[in-house]
């Protein structure tokens, strides 16, 4: 099982990071808890507004507008942050990733980083790509491996096999 190599090359786009952040929401206990608590807070706001409206104590529009903005930001948060990440990453130029049994190397026009498997010991696969996550509960660090960066569609199976051999699928 040694000697396996999969290479990716791509220019970062916002969709890569949006997908990674959405996958992170499913992996991170802290992110799942945050979404759950925000949902609970929204339900409480709805209850308060309904109660106040029934009592005739407040005009409905300011609170309803606030709730709509709150929901809008909750849904769009990965999109907004993903676009910020993309603007930062595009300054680095083309991203070249080499995945081997020894680990992952990410190189750009001006830098190179090598990661051992223990640094990001879990991953998640989506239709758009593979995303490696750090072990802490909020999965603060992640690596994006978009499928569109693979040289051959068959490389997705080879990449999955390498990741399965070294990481936990979440």
Contact (CB, 8 A) for 108 and 144: no
Interacting residues of 47 by C-beta distance below 8 A, sequence separation 6+: none
Query: What's the pLDDT at 30?
Result: 59
Q: Does 9 or 82 have the greater pLDDT score?
A: 9
b/e map 53-83, b = 16+ CB within 10 Å: eeeeeeeeeebeeeeeeeeeeeeebbeeebe
Q: Residue 137: what pLDDT?
A: 78
**Averaged over 49-63, what is the pLDDT?**
69
Q: Is the CB of residue 94 less than 8 Å from the CB of residue 11? A: yes
Tell me the pLDDT tens digit for each residue of 104-140. 999 998 899 999 999 999 999 999 999 999 998 777 7
Structure-block tokens of residue 6: 């999969």
Q: Whole-number mean pLDDT of the chain?
A: 83
User: pTM of this prediction?
Assistant: 0.71
Residue written as tokens 């490389």?
155
Which residue, among 65, 91, 80, has the nearest Cα to 12 in the 3D structure?
91
Helix, strand, or coil (residue 168): strand
Write the DSSP string, 23-83.
HHHHH-HHHHHHHHHHHHHHHHHHHHHHHHHHHT-S-HHHHHHHHHHHHHHHHHHHHHHHH
Helix (H) or strand (E) holding 90: helix 60-90
Q: What are phi and psi of 120, to 5 degrees?
A: -135, 80
């Amino acid at each position: 099982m040694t000697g396996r190599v999969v290479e990716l090359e791509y220019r970062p786009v916002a969709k890569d990071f949006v997908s990674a952040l959405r996958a992170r929401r499913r992996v991170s206990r802290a992110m799942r808890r945050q979404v759950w608590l925000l949902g609970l807070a929204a339900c409480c706001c709805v209850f308060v507004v309904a109660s106040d409206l029934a009592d005739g104590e407040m005009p409905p529009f300011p609170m309803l507008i606030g709730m709509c903005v709150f929901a809008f930001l909750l849904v769009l948060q990965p999109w907004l942050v993903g676009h910020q990440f993309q603007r930062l990453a595009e300054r680095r130029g083309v991203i070249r990733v080499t995945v081997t049994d020894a680990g992952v190397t990410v190189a750009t026009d001006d830098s190179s980083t090598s990661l051992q498997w223990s640094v990001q010991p879990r991953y998640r696969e989506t239709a758009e790509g593979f995303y490696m996550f750090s072990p802490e509960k909020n999965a603060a660090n992640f690596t994006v491996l978009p499928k569109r960066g693979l040289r051959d569609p068959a490389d997705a199976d080879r990449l999955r096999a390498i990741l399965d051999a070294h990481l936990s699928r979440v």
